[in-house]
Amino acid sequence: MEKKENCKGCRANVNVDINSIEALVEEIRNNSEFDVVSSEVYDNRLNICKECKDFVYGTTCNQCGCFVKVRALLKSSVCPSYKGDLWGH
């Protein structure tokens, strides 16, 4: 059984089904209102997140609370690390 752990801010369960996140990513990709990065930039950003100490629950950036798969997709996004933008912008 999945461990239930709640967000300290909003009390929602922090463990989100990866399929729900993938569905959101697809929705954004298919919506022309969103400006998204190339596959190369996207993969590069996600690889950096996976090595980051602020990557938590296998889904989330601990600095901003965003799902990294969503944040990394948007062209206007930057990495919110206090050390500076770890994505290298």
User: Which residue from 24, 42, 54, 65 is in contact with ligand SF4, where contact means CB under 6 A?
Assistant: 54
Nearest in space to 77 (alpha carbons), one of 24, 34, 47, 23: 34
CA distance linking residue 76 with residue 49, whole number of Å: 17
| String marking each residue 11-50 x if it binds ligand SF4 according to CB under 6 A | -------------------------------------xx-
Smallest distance from ligand SF4 to CB 29, Å: 19
What is the distance of C-alpha 21 from the center of its chain?
A: 9
81 part of the interface to ligand SF4, by CB under 6 A: yes
Nearest in space to 85 (alpha carbons), one of 58, 56, 53, 48: 48
User: Which residue from 28, 63, 65, 74 is in contact with ligand SF4, where contact means CB under 6 A?
Assistant: 63
73 part of the interface to ligand SF4, by CB under 6 A: no
Smallest distance from ligand SF4 to CB 1, Å: 27
Burial class (CB in 10 A: 0-12, 13-18, 19+), 75: exposed
Q: Based on CB atoms, which residue is closest to ligand SF4, 68 or 73? A: 68
